[in-house]
Structure formats: C-alpha cells, structure tokens
Amino acid sequence: MPSGRSGAKPKQKKQSSQLTGALTVVDLLMASRTLQAQQDGCRHNTRDAASPTHAQSGNHPDPQTKETSQILQQLMDIKTYVVAKIARSSREVKAEIQALGMRIAALETRVETVAIAHNEVVTHATQLKKHLLNLELEMEALSNRSRRNNLRIYGLPEDPNDTRILFKTYCSRRPR
C-alpha cells in the first residue's frame, strides 16, 4: 500500500508543475503587457521633467527593470522555442507531403499500366468473340454442305454395303 501512495504523489506533483508552468506562461504574458504599458507611459512622462518616474530613473537600476528584462528574456526564449518547434513541424509536414506525392505518382504509374493491360485484354476478347462467331458460321456452312450430298430414297435399304451394290447394279444397266 505505501508504494501506491508514493506513486500518487508524483502524479500530483507533475500535475501541479504543469499548472504552475501554465500559470507562469500566463504570468509572463501579463507581465509583458504590463511592461509594454509602463514603457508607453514612460515615453509620455519623459517629456515631463517633474514626473516621479523620471526622477527615479536616475543612475540607479530599478529592481523592476531587472525583473522586467528577465521576463522579456523568458518571453524571447519561449518565442524562440515556439518558432523552432513550428519550423520543425513545418519541415516534417513538408517531408510527409513530398513522400505522399511520390507514393501518389507511383500509384498513378501503376494505374496507367493496369489500364493499358485492361484495354489490351478487352481488345483481345473482342477479337476472340469475332473469331468464334466466324468459326460457328463456317461450321454451320460445312454442316449444311455435308447434308446436301446425302440423298434418301425411300424403299432402298440404307446399309452402306447394300447401297454400293445397288448403285453398281442400277448404274451398270444401260438405259433402253
């Protein structure tokens, strides 16, 4: 059980540090706005020699100025980090887009190859159908021609040997 409790504490610390980090960024942004407002105010007050800000800004560095410069430095660091992160992400996205472009080009090539092969198969199938139709017509014609030579005479036997004998017998007689 004690190990479970120790496991829970780091999670709480991690969550609180994330919240603190988020608050720190918000605080930095608010401090930057406050600093900008103060700097704008200082520009207007520099014209007035009797202003208390001008009197305090003598030769002694103001503690707020040091803190402000630290905040500005942190903001610049954050900006640099964010810009670098965006640039890296942009390069990664460009690389992925380029890779996808190459894959699409390869797929288009394959599709063109398949389309050409498909067209060849369709052409060949059409030729085979025409050839089959021609063969069927020729077979029908040959079948009809073979039947033309078959004569049937009723009353004569149809045994092949008998018909030869009858043919010879009737053909050998001369008409009178």
Tens-digit pLDDT profile for residues 29-41: 677 777 676 666 5
What is the average per-residue pLDDT within 130-134? 97
What confidence score (pLDDT) does residue 53 get? 47
What is the average per-residue pLDDT within 101-118? 97
- Asked whether the predicted pLDDT for residue 145 surpasses 60, the reply is yes
- Asked whether the predicted pLDDT for residue 12 surpasses 90, the reply is no
In one letter, which amino acid is 35? L
Query: For all residues of the chain together, what is the average pLDDT?
Result: 75
- Going by pLDDT thresholds of 50, 70 and 90, the confidence category of residue 144 is confident
Give CA–CA dist 135/125, Å, rounded. 15
Q: Global pTM?
A: 0.41
Residue 49 Cα distances to 10, 63, 94, angstroms = 55, 22, 56
Nearest to 151 by CA among 170, 167, 139, 137: 167
Give CA–CA dist 49/37, Å, rounded. 20
What is the average per-residue pLDDT within 34-57? 52
- Going by pLDDT thresholds of 50, 70 and 90, the confidence category of residue 77 is very high
